[in-house]
Chain A
């Protein structure tokens, strides 16, 4: 039994690794290095092959990203190699053209242009034309660090993007996992994202006016989260007090919350007038996106809750056999109300994250997101029949879906095909769940 469980856990992780490997292979592409190392090796190559001492140099790098740092590195390496740096241009193409023209007009000789890939492209196209007007440019040669092959999928920015993009779904999936372990379901989480975002933005707008402070931002975020927590509590209450199937209750709440979001927001996105609000959704701490750190923290907490506390054991017990759980003294109703409330709170948090990402409360946010959340839980190996499931399985499930999505975007698979693939992945996951149950 234990062995089986371990095997199926490793199974999903193995799938994840295989997917990663596969996408790495299909996304291998030419990469153009920047930074200190690239600057150093470029200068070494150039100086070792031709006499350069004292020659004029133009450093030309596209503005943005790590462009400034790369340009500085190129310039200081040039100076160290005894070259004369005429100008360092970190700029858009318009500025690059101006820089070239001004050097051309000055009549200085320009044997070396050190550029990044974008500006090298620019020079290769434009230099022949410019040198007809400015003959001194005709001797100019462009040098750019040589390229190497590396999968786009495995670039650090891309991997962080995947984590960032799954964070909202994964965080809500924590609550959904608990609900599904109790053999319930919550269809309202997508609408709650919109509801929370709109409430947050509206509260910030009404207390903060045109210039909301950080306190106002926190106040707004708490209002959004608490509002969704209360809705979750209401859902849990309906499910336990009247025994209405969770599917029906949450379907109703889904429509109500979506409609209310549009009414409250007057059908238009609600702006938050303080750009600091984007800190949660787009900010970084120690090089990691805040949303990813938050996701990691919540998963650890949820894992501890499910494995180390009596609440966790109660949740499994309620899902396994509610009658037996009740007879052995588990407060079944309170456990149910707890999981629905928690899921509401997490959906509210997801809504705040989403609103923060766009610095706007959007009543259209989170459309159909409930299905992605449920998919993450199911792919992660939680049984829809209840009683079984792992918090970290859900994280792996969310990662699998995120990796497939990202990989398909990188390889340019069109949207309808993507939808087919998600569907097939979910079907396979449910099939495996069924077959596992049969064997037992």
Chain B
């Protein structure tokens, strides 16, 4: 009997300590995750931010700049991490609706399945904004979207590819990610710029393979294509992990001198690779601007102003010379 009691008590203590642990975690995180109200100023409300995942630095940067800008306007920010799962994201939206937040900012984990959750927020009267990726579900009300002009970014990538291949042109591999609409647009922009060269046969796209948006899949796809085409001259990957995965395969084959890589995003790892000459160029996105602009949209919506439905921030091309001047990489 005594032993059982002892066990039960230790189980309880275990679980309660788990709870205290996470309660503590919550308080510890407030500094980082939610910008508390400034002294003497009462918080005007909470903005909930739910990106694909916070483990991708890109979304973390958007979140940090969003939370800093929100703080200036007197709002707190709660950052949620659905870990790329739309069910988790829906559940989290339900949670913050119950919490009666002021506004919800989403990067939809699935452009269609997230619809009903957004409708629930609409029904509760909580304004919903999207950032980076848009929602394609029917009958939902999105106050405003702030994202990257991915088609324009693709065009820049195409220009960079033409420049990198030079006079002779050559065979190009495209590493795409068709699940994400943003990546589809990048490839479309890329192909549009390449079109005259594709027609003349100077440049040839030998394959468009799924990159999974990650290093592993891109590495495998590139390694296979290196076997198939001994004269491959260029790779366009729809993001930085894709470009770096491709580089690993090319380096393994010892062909980094003859194959030029164009990436996308301009994450820190991508910028470093550009500085080291592993990647030729990246059209870079501006996550900080996105965070700031989405807060501007929220604030003007709450002030009763009409806001633009869609704001697309153009990318700019980032090459080795830019990387050498970049204070972020010093």
Shortest Cβ distance from A124 into B: residue: B44
Also in contact, A271 and B125, with CB within 8 A (given A94-B305, A97-B304):
no
Residues of B within 8 A of A122 (CB): 302-304
Report how far A96 CA is from B301 CA in the complex, Å: 11
Of the listed stretches A181-189, A236-244, A308-316, A351-359, chain B binds: A351-359
CB distance from B262 to the nearest CB of A (A): 25
Residues of A within 8 A of B90 (CB): 357-358
Shortest Cβ distance from A267 into B: residue: B179
Also in contact, A421 and B95, with CB within 8 A (given A65-B123, A269-B112):
no
Report how far A96 CA is from B303 CA in the complex, Å: 9
Residues of A within 8 A of B95 (CB): 158, 161, 406, 409-410
**Is the CB–CB distance between A157 and B98 below 8 Å?**
yes
Residues of A within 8 A of B304 (CB): 92-98, 122, 126
CB distance from A202 to the nearest CB of B (A): 15
**Is the CB–CB distance between A22 and B20 below 8 Å?**
yes
B85 CB-CB contact with A under 8 Å: yes
Of the listed stretches B7-15, B216-224, B278-286, chain A binds: B7-15
**Is the CB–CB distance between B53 and A360 below 8 Å?**
no
The bracket for how many chain B residues form the interface is 35 or more
**Is the CB–CB distance between A439 and B26 below 8 Å?**
no
**Is the CB–CB distance between B11 and A428 below 8 Å?**
yes
**Is the CB–CB distance between B102 and A118 below 8 Å?**
yes
CB distance from A167 to the nearest CB of B (A): 11
**Is the CB–CB distance between A415 and B22 below 8 Å?**
no
The bracket for how many chain A residues form the interface is 35 or more
Query: For the complex, would chain A's binding face be called helix, strand, loop or mixed by DSSP majority?
Result: helix
**Is the CB–CB distance between B5 and A7 below 8 Å?**
yes
CB within 8 Å of B: which of A79-106? Answer: 92-98
**Is the CB–CB distance between B98 and A412 below 8 Å?**
no
Also in contact, A282 and B112, with CB within 8 A (given A3-B1, A412-B78):
no
B80 CB-CB contact with A under 8 Å: yes
Report how far A271 CA is from B124 CA in the complex, Å: 24
**Is the CB–CB distance between B301 and A93 below 8 Å?**
yes
Report how far A98 CA is from B304 CA in the complex, Å: 8
Proximity bits, A38-68, B CB within 8 Å = 1, else 0: 0000000000000000000000001111010
**Is the CB–CB distance between A64 and B123 below 8 Å?**
yes
B120 CB-CB contact with A under 8 Å: yes
A148 CB-CB contact with B under 8 Å: no
**Is the CB–CB distance between B54 and A414 below 8 Å?**
yes
Report how far A275 CA is from B58 CA in the complex, Å: 35
Report how far A362 CA is from B53 CA in the complex, Å: 19
Also in contact, A417 and B25, with CB within 8 A (given A152-B98, A278-B116, A439-B3):
yes
**Is the CB–CB distance between B3 and A64 below 8 Å?**
no
CB distance from B3 to the nearest CB of A (A): 5
Residues of B within 8 A of A98 (CB): 304
**Is the CB–CB distance between A408 and B22 below 8 Å?**
yes
Residues of A within 8 A of B23 (CB): 22-23, 26, 411
Name the one of A269, A281, A412 contacting B26, with C-beta atoms under 8 angstroms: A412
Proximity bits, A402-440, B CB within 8 Å = 1, else 0: 001011111111111110010011001000100110010
**Is the CB–CB distance between B87 and A62 below 8 Å?**
no
CB within 8 Å of B: which of A336-365? Answer: 354, 357-360, 362, 364-365
B127 CB-CB contact with A under 8 Å: yes
B91 CB-CB contact with A under 8 Å: yes
B188 CB-CB contact with A under 8 Å: no
Residues of B within 8 A of A32 (CB): 100
B34 CB-CB contact with A under 8 Å: yes
A8 CB-CB contact with B under 8 Å: yes
Report how far A96 CA is from B26 CA in the complex, Å: 36
CB distance from A18 to the nearest CB of B (A): 6
**Is the CB–CB distance between B113 and A421 below 8 Å?**
no
Report how far A392 CA is from B87 CA in the complex, Å: 25
CB distance from B70 to the nearest CB of A (A): 14
**Is the CB–CB distance between A411 and B86 below 8 Å?**
no
Residues of B within 8 A of A410 (CB): 95, 99
**Is the CB–CB distance between A155 and B98 below 8 Å?**
yes
**Is the CB–CB distance between B303 and A126 below 8 Å?**
yes
CB distance from A134 to the nearest CB of B (A): 14
Residues of B within 8 A of A417 (CB): 22, 25, 29
Name the one of A26, A362, A414 contacting B81, with C-beta atoms under 8 angstroms: A414
CB within 8 Å of A: which of B252-277? Answer: none
Shortest Cβ distance from B20 into A: residue: A22
Report how far A94 CA is from B304 CA in the complex, Å: 4
Name the one of B7, B97, B120, B122 contacting A435, with C-beta atoms under 8 angstroms: B7
Residues of A within 8 A of B54 (CB): 414-415
**Is the CB–CB distance between B306 and A94 below 8 Å?**
yes
Shortest Cβ distance from A155 into B: residue: B98
7 other A-B residue contacts (CB within 8 Å) besides A95-B304, A404-B19: A22-B23, A118-B102, A121-B44, A358-B90, A404-B18, A436-B4, A439-B3
Q: Which 7 A-B pairs have the closest CB atoms?
A: A64-B125, A97-B304, A415-B81, A411-B26, A93-B304, A358-B113, A157-B98
Interface residues of B (CB under 8 A from A): 1, 3-5, 7-8, 11-12, 14-16, 18-23, 25-27, 29-30, 33-34, 44-45, 53-55, 78-83, 85-87, 90-92, 94-95, 97-100, 102, 110, 112-116, 120, 122-127, 139, 178-179, 301-306
A-B contact pairs, 23 of them (CB 8 A): A4-B1, A4-B4, A14-B12, A15-B12, A15-B15, A19-B15, A64-B122, A64-B125, A92-B304, A96-B304, A357-B87, A360-B112, A360-B115, A367-B85, A404-B22, A406-B95, A412-B30, A413-B26, A414-B29, A424-B18, A425-B15, A428-B11, A432-B11
